[in-house]
Amino acid sequence: EGGQTIAANPDARRIQINICKESCQVALAQNYVVENIRGITAETFSRADDGEVYEELDSKFMPTGGSGPDWKSSMGQDVTKGRHTEVEFMNGYISQQGRVAGVPTPINDAIVQVVSEIDAGTRTPGPENVELVLELAAMR
C-alpha cells in the first residue's frame, strides 16, 4: 500500500502517529534535538496519548484528496519485491534505544516482530497485519 492508501485507514494512521510518538519520546529522553515532522514538533508528537493532541495529529495524517502518485515507503517496496527489509535498523533501533532510555516502544516492537516474520517467510504481507500490529502493541 502507498502513502495515500495508508492515510485513508484510521488504524494505519494510528500506527504512523505512534511510530512518530515513540521515536520522539526516545530521542527527547536522550536529549536529541528533533526537527519538526510534517511541521509538528517532537514535543507535540510525544504527547500523542492526549486525545486532543492525537486528533490534531490525525488530521495532519489524513489524505489530502490529491490525485498524485500513491508513493510506497522503501520498506514497503522491499516487502513487495520480496527483499529483506531494514526493519532492525529502523524500528528495531528505536526499540533498542527505547530500552536504553527506559521508554516503552510497543508499536515499534510490534512492527519489528511482524516485519521480521514477513522477512523470514513465516507471515504473509497484507492489510490484516495492521490489526495484528495494534493487537501486539496492546492497542486493541
Q: 81-109 pLDDT, tens per residue?
A: 888 999 999 999 999 999 999 999 999 99
Residue 20 pLDDT more than 80? yes
Predicted TM-score of the model (pTM): 0.90
CB 102 within 8 A of CB 29: yes
How far is the C-alpha of 41 from the C-alpha of 28, rounded, in Å?
A: 11
- Best CA proximity match to 108, nearest among 31, 7, 6, 17: 17
- Per-residue pLDDT, averaged over 100-119, amounts to 98
The rounded distance, in Å, linking the Cα atoms of 75 and 120 is: 15
Residue showing cell 495508508 = 6
C-alpha grid cell, residue 93: 533501533
- Domains of the chain, each with CATH number or no CATH: 3-136 (1.10.1040.10)
Question: For residues 135 and 119, what is the distance between their CA atoms, to the nearest angstrom?
Answer: 20
Return d(Cα 71, Cα 65) in angstroms, integer: 14
**pLDDT on residue 122:** 98
pLDDT tier for residue 120 given thresholds of 50, 70 and 90: very high
